Amino acid sequence: QVQLVESGGGSVQVGGSMNLSCEASGFIYSSYYMGWFRQAPGKEREGVASIDSDGTTIYGNSVKGRFTISQDSAKNTLYLQMNSLNPEDTAMYYCAADIGIGYGANLEQENFSYWGQGTQVTVSS
């Protein structure tokens, strides 16, 4: 059974940084892709960043240059380093994953079968 557990959320001031983690269990595949998505109140969920088993990364336009996605395969953990945070980054952040058959890193949420419960990030001025 695949389980994704996010951690590291909380409150931060504008311009601050935060590092999110997503620990995956029951998900051991040689080819896969994982990603971070977020949903703010009253808005649709959007793709933030994605990485695949080859190390290819892709970012949403609103976070390019500020966020960095990475992974530690030995720890089965996905990370999202967020810098220069602003109030528009306030949202529930979700980790997602799927087996990499036919897809690599991407930000299409319908391509992801496994989802975590989310961790809240709040950026205040």
pLDDT tens for the chain, residues 1 to 125: 899 999 999 999 999 999 999 999 988 888 899 999 999 999 999 999 999 999 999 999 999 999 999 999 899 999 999 999 999 999 999 999 999 887 899 999 999 999 999 999 999 98
Task: Identify the H or E element spanning 78.
Answer: strand 77-82
Supply the pLDDT for residue 119. 98
pLDDT at 61: 97
Predicted pLDDT at 67: 98
- Quote the Cα angle for 14-22-58, to 5°: 70
- If you ran DSSP here, which 8-state letter would residue 109 be given? G
| DSSP bridge pairs for 93 | 38, 119
State the Cα–Cα distance between residues 5 and 56, nearest whole angstrom: 22
The rounded Cα 73 to chain-centroid distance in angstroms is: 15
Written as six digits, the tokens of 1 are 């059974």
